[in-house]
Structure 1
């Protein structure tokens, strides 16, 4: 059974939903705290005095999220690793016998799972500091903007507060930058980091099993809607490890003792992954390569262009952003306007899936329910 980062995508989404729920609760909590008594002449003084209570409530939310997320991350990594192992066992069951199959079934997983889970927890650690900082900064800036608005004669206090909160709700908790310099909001950043680690866990488990059985070669699938980062590796035969580099090798036939087969090896799996293969959201998979038996598979027809798949993801992000804005609206008019935007972007998604064969993934349009 081939292995791919996509086989663990649902596990990353489950972790992402925890943060989405926390972000939604944070938006609603800040909005409620600021909306209460906003028409009172003492509103500014009362809100500033209540900042400590808000901070304490957010710190409590962060503590719950941190505990839940650490457990969910380890569970996701363990499940992804297990899926990768099972995929290799299925493949090896067709060819490995005796000691090779026994070795493949006895690979210890706990150290690898602990290492990958710990790396994920470390990478997402700065999220919690950022949550508190952003919430307090937004709370203070809304008070400052709303209290200054009547003096400037531009808008009322309520309208100024609503405008500032709308910006916060639409963006969420932001300020996270990955290694390539791309900026993310909290939920997207955590889900991206989790997808990367659980995908790596599945692939690593697969290759660990193959190594234990003495299998060195894998083959990359030909996937639809591929991106330019990994297109050049499609259909290529790779060594499981090593520095890489294209070469032709002679290797024994998978089932015929003494018969040698020439195989064109395009490089190594670590080399291909460093070049972009099996990145988060990658549609490719790798499978065991059996010299003399494995045949090149027919390419899967593309349902759309890569650019159209990215357009779908953009539209899904817009749906979620406007749903967050609706959740943080201070009045019914703003809530109705935000919900109208939600429906408009959902309409664009329907148009896109109608003109392509892309499936509509409604779960990617949903916000978690704050709890």
Structure 2
């Protein structure tokens, strides 16, 4: 019996993560609109420099409007639903059992909410920095005497967005756009909750063994576990043979070894002696590389659209027209690549707000 598809569980989080994606877009808009006001008036730079606290207040207002109330309850509901998806997979065995394990879901909720709350201060600070840097950089461009202020500000904003200066740094030191980080965290939490629901359901029905599916897009972290027989509880001796197949380890060991990392696509299929066919693991490093390159093209396209949205606040500019040309070219390149490689094109991943 096929295990729960981790990717399918993400739909339970879409409403919640979409709110954060909108907030991410609004924050860059706050910066761009504030820079655009009075851009043709004398003393623009001095005036904008005095408005830093106003920009901070507007950014905080975005956070308060979109992210403040009800987040924990919404996360709880979403991950409860994901857990239920996993439970329903176990229910296909046809045996009645009580499987709900609220402690597991609560722990995932706490971690997810903590991840998102931890982004608020650094992401506000990053957008403040973009605002201040744009003032300074546009003044430097103006000093050349070859560009009008509107174009100078648009170019400064574009350069900063292109460099990812509005990204924040997470605890591991990695730089993230808020929307990408939220998608990753939401997808991971939902997948983990769904898998937990399935595994708890299997244990409640007296099942202890699962076999990890073969994924066409495995990475080095999870590839060693493909086609391996695992004990959910550790109750089945490691190294023992069941129906001619060796028990390679526990689910917890596999998880600690990298299985079900963010965006992992592997299932834990139910193992029934005499019925389950254990898949032969087939390495496909090229498929993984192709997928990662497509993700790179998607990120680049999102960055271009994010930059265009910001510079459009300054009206019709050469920078904006250049963005549109580049977006058309990049979209065509991405589409051609997806068709040539057979990789699934997900258009929602090509937009800053999905």
TM-score (norm. length: structure 2): 0.88
Contact persistence 1:263–1:291 (CA under 8 A): no
Contact persistence 1:218–1:238 (CA under 8 A): yes
Shift of the 4–262 alpha-carbon distance from structure 1 to 2, 3 Å rule, reads same
Contact persistence 2:308–2:323 (CA under 8 A): yes
Query: CA offsets per residue over residues 134-158 of structure 1, 9 Å max, x none?
Result: 2222222222333454456465433
What is the match of residue 247 of structure 2?
A: 265
SS for the counterpart of 1:224 is coil
SS for the counterpart of 1:266 is strand
Tell me the distance in 2 between the aligned counterparts of 1:262 and 1:294: 12
Shift of the 262–356 alpha-carbon distance from structure 1 to 2, 3 Å rule, reads closer
Unaligned ranges ≥5, structure 2: none
Tell me the distance in 2 between the aligned counterparts of 1:206 and 1:200: 10
Between the two proteins, the alignment pairs up a number of residues equal to: 348
**1:338 lines up with 2:323 in the alignment:** yes
Alignment of 1:109-188 (within 5 A): 109-151=101-143, 153=145, 155-170=147-162, 171=164, 173-177=166-170, 179=172, 181-188=173-180
Unaligned ranges ≥5, structure 1: 251-260
Contact persistence 1:225–1:309 (CA under 8 A): yes
Alignment of 1:223-262 (within 5 A): 223-242=215-234, 246-249=238-241, 261=243
What is the match of residue 258 of structure 1?
A: none
Tell me the distance in 2 between the aligned counterparts of 1:15 and 1:364: 16
SS for the counterpart of 1:3 is coil
Contact persistence 2:151–2:319 (CA under 8 A): no
Larger C-alpha radius of gyration, 1 or 2? 1
CA RMSD of aligned residues (A): 2.8
Tell me the distance in 1 between the aligned counterparts of 2:352 and 2:77: 22
TM-score (norm. length: structure 1): 0.84
**1:312 lines up with 2:294 in the alignment:** yes
Shift of the 71–328 alpha-carbon distance from structure 1 to 2, 3 Å rule, reads farther
What is the match of residue 277 of structure 2?
A: 295
Q: CA deviation at 1:48?
A: 3.2
